[in-house]
């Protein structure tokens, strides 16, 4: 198949999933055309099966704001025709599905190119659910030829908010070869020079991730006798507040801010405990990646996290903001090597059994084929 994929190319779970999906599809012989405003972060290699088409923004004195949605739609339509795309697969509904629908409609006299929208989370729970965006998000869902969601939780949230239920759940995935344990690497020696245990958090430091809770947990674990460092991977709006709180709690010297990283796996591979204290998480891709690296997860019992983390088996779940319990749970892993090992092994086992690329990518391919045959049938009926 010739597949067009659109993602937000910057830091964010949906961009990672879309990019890795493209890479996996290309490995299986499909031609993938990324259509985005920049090369997606995790897309490190272009080759004869993986192509990148940059959305060029048009500037004109009349435009106070450059019309990205239209520039994207224009590029999608152009690439769909020039590369003979079979379908357009967009990640994150706003505005990608609207742009794709516009592209599809603008060229349908020549050929009908179906649009598949994958919902990731805040496109439904925050942005799409906002009263001002709700009607256009619903329109994007209704007009897509196929819609997938990354968790059962997100499907249910979409049904409740948008009264729209034609959604296939295709969960996020990991490549077990890319995410695996690797102790004793140079990174590990830098982060833990005296053998301190490593708590690791990875996010885009938005308020919904509650990154400040991570330094609160660090302070409590240390207070309770845990010899730990906290590694904060990523960047975003809450970063300066996190730094400030770390100083207030006198744990700044034990907190290592490494910024955005192209290879998150390097940090997860040496982590001892992964922290994800979010107040919203439709799936929690970083928790899955951590589990694949045999790292037990301390997270909140919200959204899709219980679908990914088995409480008491691959990690421990708590209520939002329950720093006391999260730090007690983290301390258990810090103090007990065997507990950490058992939870870690089980985490990798479940991550591979439920969410390996071998299992999930065929589900996307089957879904593409289903949508293509349904839309071909519809086109024949309308002819
Ligand atoms: O919240 C983020 O980090 C970014 C956001 C995105 O769409 O880029 O992530 C969402 O999609 C990820 C991949 O499917 C999920 O793992 C995250 O749980 C989800 N974030 C939220 O629901 C807050």
Tell me the mean pLDDT in the region 327-343. 98
Cβ–ligand 1 distance for 19 under 6 Å, the answer no
Tell me the mean pLDDT in the region 350-366. 98
Q: Say how far apart CA 137 and CA 94 lie, in whole Å.
A: 7
Ligand 1 nearest atom to the CA of residue 91, by list position: 7
Which of the listed residues 121, 278, 290 should we mutate to test ligand 1's pocket, taking the one with most ligand atoms within 8 A of CB?
A: 121
Name the more confident of 56 and 303. Answer: 303
- Does residue 107 register a pLDDT over 90? yes
What tens digit of pLDDT does each residue of 267-292 get? Answer: 999 999 999 999 999 999 999 999 99
Give the orientation angle of helix 13-27 with respect to helix 357-382, to 10 degrees: 80
pLDDT at residue 382, rounded to an integer: 81
Tell me the mean pLDDT in the region 359-374. 98
pLDDT at residue 58, rounded to an integer: 79
Cβ–ligand 1 distance for 6 under 6 Å, the answer no
Which of the listed residues 6, 15, 120 should we mutate to test ligand 1's pocket, taking the one with most ligand atoms within 8 A of CB?
A: 120
Taking the centre of ligand 1 as the mean of its atom positions, its distance from the CA of residue 299, in whole angstroms, is 15
Tell me the β-bridge partners of 149: 119, 169
pLDDT at residue 69, rounded to an integer: 94
Tell me the mean pLDDT in the region 185-205. 92
Pairing of strands 50-54, 315-318: unpaired
pTM: 0.95
Domain 2-173+357-382 carries which CATH code?
3.40.50.2000
pLDDT at residue 302, rounded to an integer: 97
Name the 3-class secondary structure at 341.
helix
Cβ–ligand 1 distance for 157 under 6 Å, the answer no
Q: Give the DSSP H/E element, type plus range, for residue 328.
A: helix 323-335
Q: Say how far apart CA 244 and CA 214 lie, in whole Å.
A: 13
Contact status, residue 144 vs residue 115, Cβ threshold 8 Å: yes
**Which residues have C-beta within 8 Å of that of residue 120, sequence separation ≥ 6?**
13, 14, 17, 91, 92, 150, 154, 282, 283
Tell me the mean pLDDT in the region 308-331. 98
pLDDT at residue 165, rounded to an integer: 96
Tell me the mean pLDDT in the region 296-323. 98
Determine which of 41-50, 65-74, 86-95 has the lowest per-residue pLDDT on average: 41-50
Concatenating the DSSP letter of every residue in 128-171 gives TTSTTTHHHHHHHHHHSSEEEESSHHHHHHHHHHH-----EE--
pLDDT at residue 227, rounded to an integer: 95
Q: Where are the domains of the chain?
A: 2-173+357-382, 186-355
2-173+357-382 and 186-355 in the same fold? yes
pLDDT at residue 378, rounded to an integer: 87
Tell me the mean pLDDT in the region 236-254. 97
What tens digit of pLDDT does each residue of 1-50 get? Answer: 999 999 999 768 999 999 999 999 999 999 999 999 998 887 878 889 99
pLDDT at residue 11, rounded to an integer: 67
pLDDT at residue 301, rounded to an integer: 98
Taking the centre of ligand 1 as the mean of its atom positions, its distance from the CA of residue 121, in whole angstroms, is 5
pLDDT at residue 50, rounded to an integer: 95
Give the orientation angle of helix 357-382 with respect to helix 337-355, to 10 degrees: 30
- Does residue 322 register a pLDDT over 80? yes
Name the 3-class secondary structure at 5.
strand
Q: In what order do the strands lie in the sheet with 273-276?
A: 255-259, 228-233, 197-202, 273-276, 297-300, 315-318
Cβ–ligand 1 distance for 208 under 6 Å, the answer yes
Q: Say how far apart CA 291 and CA 273 lie, in whole Å.
A: 10
Cβ–ligand 1 distance for 283 under 6 Å, the answer yes
- Does residue 60 register a pLDDT over 80? no
Q: Say how far apart CA 361 and CA 372 lie, in whole Å.
A: 17
Q: By CB neighbour count within 10 A (0-12 exposed, 13-18 middle, 19+ buried), where does 252 fall?
A: middle
Cβ–ligand 1 distance for 150 under 6 Å, the answer yes
CA 355 to chain centre: 13
**Which residues have C-beta within 8 Å of that of residue 375, sequence separation ≥ 6?**
112, 114, 145
Q: Say how far apart CA 197 and CA 190 lie, in whole Å.
A: 12
- Does residue 368 register a pLDDT over 90? yes
Give the orientation angle of helix 239-248 with respect to helix 212-223, to 10 degrees: 20
Contact status, residue 23 vs residue 50, Cβ threshold 8 Å: yes
- pLDDT band of 210, cuts 50, 70, 90: very high
Q: Say how far apart CA 275 and CA 213 lie, in whole Å.
A: 9
Cβ–ligand 1 distance for 282 under 6 Å, the answer yes
pLDDT at residue 186, rounded to an integer: 85
| Span 186-355 CATH architecture | 3-Layer(aba) Sandwich (3.40)
The Cβ of residue 348 has, within 10 Å, a number of other Cβ atoms equal to: 21
- pLDDT band of 303, cuts 50, 70, 90: very high
């Amino acid at each position: 198949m010739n597949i067009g994929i659109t993602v937000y190319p910057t830091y964010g779970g949906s961009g990672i999933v879309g990019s890795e999906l493209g890479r996996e599809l290309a490995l299986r012989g499909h031609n993938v055309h990324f259509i985005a405003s920049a090369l997606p972060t995790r897309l490190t290699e272009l080759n004869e099966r993986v192509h990148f088409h940059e959305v060029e923004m048009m500037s004109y004195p009349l435009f106070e704001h450059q019309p990205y949605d239209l520039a994207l739609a224009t590029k999608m339509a152009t690439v769909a025709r020039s590369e003979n795309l079979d379908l357009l697969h967009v990640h994150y509904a706003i505005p990608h599905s609207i742009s794709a629908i516009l592209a599809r409609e603008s060229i349908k006299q020549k050929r009908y190119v179906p649009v598949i929208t994958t919902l990731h989370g805040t496109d439904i729970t925050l942005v799409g659910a906002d009263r001002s965006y709700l009607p256009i998000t619903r329109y994007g869902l209704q007009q897509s030829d196929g819609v997938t969601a990354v968790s059962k939780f997100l499907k249910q949230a979409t049904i409740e908010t948008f009264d729209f239920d034609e959604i296939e759940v295709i969960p996020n995935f990991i490549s077990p070869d890319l995410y695996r344990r690797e102790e004793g690497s140079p990174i590990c020696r830098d982060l833990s020079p005296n053998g301190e245990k490593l708590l690791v958090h990875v996010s885009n430091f938005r308020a919904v991730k509650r990154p400040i809770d991570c330094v609160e947990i660090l302070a409590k674990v240390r207070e309770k006798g845990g010899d730990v460092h906290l590694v904060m991977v990523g960047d975003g709006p809450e970063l300066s507040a996190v730094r400030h709180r770390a100083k207030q709690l006198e744990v700044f010297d034990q907190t290592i801010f490494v910024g955005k990283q192209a290879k998150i796996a390097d940090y997860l591979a040496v982590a001892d405990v992964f922290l994800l204290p979010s107040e919203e998480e439709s799936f929690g891709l970083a928790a899955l990646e951590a589990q694949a690296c045999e790292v037990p997860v301390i997270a909140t019992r919200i959204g899709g996290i219980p679908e990914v983390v088995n409480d008491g088996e691959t990690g421990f779940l708590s209520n939002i903001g329950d720093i006391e319990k999260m730090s007690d749970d983290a301390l258990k892993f810090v103090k007990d090597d065997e507990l950490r090992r058992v939870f870690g092994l089980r985490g990798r086992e479940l991550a591979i059994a439920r969410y390996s690329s071998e299992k999930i990518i065929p589900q996307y391919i089957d879904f593409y084929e289903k949508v293509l045959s349904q839309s071909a049938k519809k086109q024949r009926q309308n002819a």
